[in-house]
Amino acid sequence: MAAYTHVDGALGSEASTREVALRDLLQVLRRRRSTIIASVLCCTALATTGALLYEPRFTSQAVLIIDPRTTEVTDINAVISNLPREAAAIRTEIDMITSTATAAKVVDRLGLVHDPEFNGAIERPSAIDRAIAGINDTVGYDLSPLRQQITGYLNSAGIGVKEPTSPEKERAAVIADVRRGLSATSDAQSYTIVVSFKAKEAEKAARIANAFVDEYLLDQLQTKQEVTQQANKWLEDRINELRAQVEVSDKAVQDYRAQQGLVLGSAGGETFLSQQLAELNRALVVAQTERGRAEARAQNARIVARSPTEGNAAEVLGSPLIQRLGEEESGIARRLAEYRTRYGDQHPAVQAYVNQLTNLRQKMREEATKIMAVINNEVEIARARERELEAALKKLTAETAGELGANVRLAQLQREADANRRVYEGLLQRLVETREQDDLQQRDARVVSKAEPPLEPSTPGKKLFVGGGLAVGLLIGMFLAFLRDHLNKTFRNTQHVEETIGVPAIGLVPSLPHHKNAKPEDYVLDRPRSEYSEAVRAIGVSLYARGALNTGSVVMVTSAVPGEGKTTVCLTLARMLAASGRRVLLLECDLRCPRIGNVLGDNAPGDLSDLIVGKAEWQDVVQVDGRSGLHYVVGRPHCDHPQELLGSEKLASIIKFASLEYDCVILDTPPMAVVADAGVLTRSATECLFVVRWEQTPRAVVQRAIDRLTELGRDVTSVVLSRVDLKKLARTDASEEAYGMNEARRYYTR
């Protein structure tokens, strides 16, 4: 349960803190509402004037797209590449659109130098003319004479006179002004560029925006065409140079070949001797191959000739006769084998077959011998052919040895001629391609939507101007209100006094209206039911309730600085107490700037200083106010050492004696922050009443004076705010005190 109670208490404390903070804020706004109202009125007036002077602007937009698609009509590389699609490239194109060069083309194309909106040198309505025209439209009153007077005065003062400028400067100024109305933007999510232009006329804004787009697209196409034409011109010049170089290099090859006798063969690329040498090499290779074949055949034939009965004799020797004899041999050998198996070796048939086989083989050997002679003859023929070719090759090689050195130089000249020809043919082909491109140039961007005249102005209207001025004025006024309140280091009400210095504030002393020429000390007697008199009476009641006005009490009245109303409080309080039937003595202890004698009259032979030094007796210094019955002793400024007199034991005994004779003794003392006179009187006083001027005396000054009194052994028991403007307090302060005074005013007489 205790925990819940603690939580509820914390929540209540937090809510109370928020309530206090909100109340303080509202009090600040109420106190400084004149500042807020003045700020609102000034800003609204400025905004209204600006709305009358400011001409509406229309913004028209055209949308471009950096086309990511490309049209390939021919498979030919372009002289200038298409735009990349990176953000940096798009940013570069935006810079091209908004460049001075593009703006200059638009200015020249549309003749904007002659447009008064962009050329300030052209006579056009001034700000004064526009303001007066706006007032004429608003109030319906002709102010043309006033405009003429103002214009004449400005011209006579040299304010409205413009110096002539050169056409170049005018054009540069127009270009700069046109660029200020132009904007081009793009986001990172698309390839689009939004070109916007702001002008006073909707049609003009659309026309200029479209002109910027057209100039940009035309510049793109012209740039590509110019680059292509420059490339064609360079290619043509280079081709003419290379054509001459090719002719020179070809002629050098022909001249050198003729000079060295290097006649080309039928192949066209080699000399006749080189072709012969190649043919002999090929023929020699063929002869060597044939000779090898013949020798291999002869070797095989010799092997077969030794045993013509082998199965490959016919194949090796290539003789049909041997082939036939071989077949007969195979048949006889087969029958011989059968008969030997059947009849044995001695059988006559076996013997007959043996004789036939022997004769047959003899014939085969004879035939093989003949064939061997033929093969050996072929080998010799092949060898002879090879030797002839080798001799011819050796001879031809010797003949072509002198041609090799010339061929090296010829090859070098030929390579140079071929290289020049290849470069020439490549550039010639590229020239044909670029000439075809000149008619196929395409823009990298295209128009998605052209700029159209807007229906409504893009700049704020007059109502929005005035509303914005009102809002800005309110914000500035609130800021100034809080700033002024923060910088205000004075006291606003009794509650503020108690919260700041911790001393009870027992009342407010109003200031009297200046137009009535009333004196406060007389006003409390002449108008006892006035709010001023009631305020003084309330101070007396508070002092009485605190015991400060008991019999024998001594009330010391002081302030921090002069002009706080200290003496006035003393006089009005003393006269009111005396008029109520109390025996009151007022001692004027301010010997430097005494004022009581001037107010109540000074007819006594002596003053307070005379009484202290013994030059006068009591009955010589005490005077009586005829209207209230107040007894008072004045001070006169003829003392050189007032502090010594005020701090003397004689004065202390005088005050002690007076406290026994009177119901109340009031001491009017000097200001604490100016002189030290009041400090020596603290020991004789039973109460200390501190007077502070409302919204005038700095809090720090009051605090230092109170601290000084405390150091001297006298605590300030109560504070009174003087010279309070009750109407202003009721208007600007939301405290209960101000509310009560505002509500209770009907009880007072004027």
What are 71's two structure tokens?
Answer: 């049209």
Strands (E), 394-514: 445-449, 505-510
Q: What is the average pLDDT across 511-524?
A: 78
Q: What is the average pLDDT across 526-531?
A: 87
Please answer whether residues 336 and 348 qualify as being in contact, where contact means their C-beta atoms are separated by less than 8 angstroms.
no
pLDDT for residue 303: 72
Q: 197: which strand partners?
A: 60, 182
Please answer whether residues 675 and 643 qualify as being in contact, where contact means their C-beta atoms are separated by less than 8 angstroms.
yes
pLDDT at 265 over 70: no
Say what the pTM is: 0.50
Chain centre distance of CA 193: 20
Residues 651, 658: Cα–Cα separation, whole Å: 10
Q: How many CB atoms lie within 10 A of CB 545?
A: 10
Using a pLDDT cut of 70, give the percent of the chain over it. Answer: 75
74-115 residue pLDDT tens: 444 444 444 455 677 788 888 888 888 888 898 888 888 888
pLDDT for residue 271: 62
Through-space distance between the first and last CA atoms of the chain, rounded to whole angstroms: 59
436-491 residue pLDDT tens: 655 545 566 778 788 888 887 777 666 776 788 788 888 887 888 778 777 777 88
Residues 618, 607: Cα–Cα separation, whole Å: 10
Please answer whether residues 191 and 90 qualify as being in contact, where contact means their C-beta atoms are separated by less than 8 angstroms.
yes
What are 181's two structure tokens?
Answer: 């109305």
CA distances from 69 to 66, 216, 323, 379, 406 (A): 9, 19, 85, 79, 59
Q: What is the average pLDDT across 38-64?
A: 80
- Please list, residue by residue across 689-724, b when 16 or more beta carbons sit within 10 angstroms of its beta carbon and e when fewer do: bbbbbbbebebebbeebbebbeebebebbbbbbbbb
What DSSP state is assigned to residue 83?
P
- Which three-class secondary structure state does DSSP give residue 685? coil
Largest Cα span, the chain: 217
CA distances from 71 to 67, 75, 78, 86 (A): 10, 10, 12, 20
pLDDT for residue 164: 53
Q: What is the average pLDDT across 368-377?
A: 80
pLDDT for residue 133: 60
Return the residue matching tokens 């109670």. 5
Q: What is the average pLDDT across 315-341?
A: 73
118-132, 494-508, 582-596, 635-649: least confidently modelled range: 118-132
* DSSP symbols for 43-73: HHHHHHHHHHHPPP-EEEEEEEEE------S
pLDDT at 138 over 50: yes
pLDDT for residue 569: 93
Most confident of 542-551, 616-625, 680-689: 616-625
pLDDT at 515 over 70: no
Which amino acid is it at 159? I
Please answer whether residues 687 and 543 qualify as being in contact, where contact means their C-beta atoms are separated by less than 8 angstroms.
yes
Residues 720, 493: Cα–Cα separation, whole Å: 10
CA distances from 635 to 417, 591, 592, 593, 670 (A): 133, 5, 8, 9, 12
Q: What is the average pLDDT across 36-58?
A: 78
425-437 residue pLDDT tens: 887 777 677 666 5
- C-alpha closest to that of 635 among 600, 583, 671, 683: 600
Confidence grade of residue 7 (pLDDT, cut at 50, 70, 90)? very low
Confidence grade of residue 6 (pLDDT, cut at 50, 70, 90)? very low
User: Residues with Cβ < 8 Å from 157, sequence gap 6 or more?
Assistant: none
267 or 499, which is more confident: 499
pLDDT for residue 81: 46
* Dihedral sign, Cα of residue 519, residue 520, residue 525, residue 530: positive
H helical segments located in 83-143 = 87-97, 100-110, 127-139
90 or 652, which is more confident: 652
199-203, 265-269, 570-574, 717-721: least confidently modelled range: 265-269
Please answer whether residues 82 and 70 qualify as being in contact, where contact means their C-beta atoms are separated by less than 8 angstroms.
yes
pLDDT for residue 400: 66
Confidence grade of residue 623 (pLDDT, cut at 50, 70, 90)? very high
pLDDT for residue 353: 76
Please answer whether residues 558 and 690 qualify as being in contact, where contact means their C-beta atoms are separated by less than 8 angstroms.
yes
Residues 730, 745: Cα–Cα separation, whole Å: 11
Residues 557, 685: Cα–Cα separation, whole Å: 10
Which amino acid is it at 559? S
320-329 residue pLDDT tens: 777 777 777 7
Q: What is the average pLDDT across 111-129?
A: 71
pLDDT for residue 88: 77
656 or 713, which is more confident: 656
Q: What is the average pLDDT across 499-525?
A: 83
pLDDT at 718 over 60: yes
pLDDT for residue 131: 58
pLDDT at 376 over 80: yes
pLDDT for residue 572: 93
Confidence grade of residue 690 (pLDDT, cut at 50, 70, 90)? very high
Confidence grade of residue 26 (pLDDT, cut at 50, 70, 90)? confident
Please answer whether residues 584 and 578 qualify as being in contact, where contact means their C-beta atoms are separated by less than 8 angstroms.
yes
Q: What is the average pLDDT across 488-496?
A: 81
239 or 133, which is more confident: 239
CA-derived radius of gyration, the chain: 67
pLDDT for residue 319: 67
Using a pLDDT cut of 90, give the percent of the chain over it. Answer: 11
pLDDT for residue 199: 84
pLDDT for residue 139: 55
pLDDT for residue 10: 45
Residues 207, 58: Cα–Cα separation, whole Å: 12
H or E segment to which residue 453 belongs: none
On average, the pLDDT of the chain sits at 77
pLDDT for residue 749: 54
569-605 residue pLDDT tens: 999 999 999 999 999 999 999 888 899 989 999 898 9
Confidence grade of residue 358 (pLDDT, cut at 50, 70, 90)? confident
365 or 562, which is more confident: 562
- Please list, residue by residue across 356-375, b when 16 or more beta carbons sit within 10 angstroms of its beta carbon and e when fewer do: bbeebbeebeebbeebbeeb
pLDDT for residue 656: 92
322 or 700, which is more confident: 700
Q: What is the average pLDDT across 181-201?
A: 84
Residues 409, 643: Cα–Cα separation, whole Å: 132
